[in-house]
Amino acid sequence: MNVLFLGLPGSGKGTQAQSIAGRLGLAHLSTGQVFRDSVVEKTPLGKIVEARMNAGILIDDELTNKIAESFLEKNGSAKGFVFDGYPRNVAQASFLEKLLEKKKQKLDFVVLIDVDEQVVFERLVSRAKKDGRTDDSEEKIRFRLATQNPKELVDYYLEKKMLSTIDGSGTVDEITRRILAVLG
Ligand code: AMP
């Protein structure tokens, strides 16, 4: 089973992706986490992506697609994947489709976690203070919310009749239950 989570930054998709991957035994790809780790570990990838990440700007598709491709290769025996923050646009979505096709697989579920933009703004500001996330300051958060809205992919998967929208308000457990109901 392959599941993609869509949502604004701060919608809780990372938390839910991790929880669902753990419960269902799926491999969890968070490209944002891969990039953040690479910056902390000062790897060659980290040096390439650090400035863009700190500015809250997307990393280019070619590099991001390579990260996804090598993650799928490394986890070749996984019984499925949870995609979180990847794909981020239609170009990446098409690339992922081809990657999965090669494995005779497809995305089985695309779940949009629907949240109010003001609610996530407040959530991101308090998370940034707590975690000291270097890519989060109030101005950058506004910028990320404006530029990283999943609308392009929402329209793309709506058109393909693949999108399930769930209410992203309430407790973490309530949201998890809604997602599990969608996944059957
Ligand atoms: P996230 O944790 O998903 O919010 O990602 C944090 C940052 O990593 C983003 O602001 C981008 O700079 C970068 N990033 C993560 N995923 C992608 C992606 N699929 N395409 C391009 N950039 C990404």
Closest ligand 1 atom to the C-alpha of 85?
3
Instruction: Give the pLDDT confidence score for residue 34 in this predicted structure.
Output: 96
Ligand 1, atom 11, lies closest to the CA of 58
> Exposure pattern of 69-93 as b/e (b: 16+ CB <10 Å)?
eebbeeeeebeebbbbbbbbbeebb
Q: Is the CB of 88 under 6 A from ligand 1?
A: yes
What number of other Cβ atoms are within 10 A of residue 119's Cβ? 14
Ligand 1: centre distance to CA 32 (Å): 4
Ligand 1: centre distance to CA 83 (Å): 12
Residue 7: pLDDT above 90? yes
pTM of the predicted model, to two decimals? 0.92
Instruction: Give the pLDDT confidence score for residue 86 in this predicted structure.
Output: 97
Task: Give the domain range for residue 171.
Answer: 2-183
Q: Is the CB of 4 under 6 A from ligand 1?
A: no
Ligand 1: centre distance to CA 9 (Å): 9
Closest ligand 1 atom to the C-alpha of 92?
19
Instruction: Give the pLDDT confidence score for residue 26 in this predicted structure.
Output: 98
Ligand 1: centre distance to CA 14 (Å): 12
For the chain, what is the domain count?
Answer: 1
The CATH number for 134's domain is 3.40.50.300
What whole-number distance in Å separates Cα of residue 86 and Cα of residue 35? Answer: 12
The pLDDT tens digits for 136-176 are: 688 888 988 998 899 999 999 999 999 999 999 999 999 99
The pLDDT tens digits for 69-123 are: 999 999 999 999 999 999 999 999 999 999 999 999 999 999 999 999 999 999 8
Q: Is the CB of 32 under 6 A from ligand 1?
A: yes
What whole-number distance in Å separates Cα of residue 9 and Cα of residue 93? Answer: 18
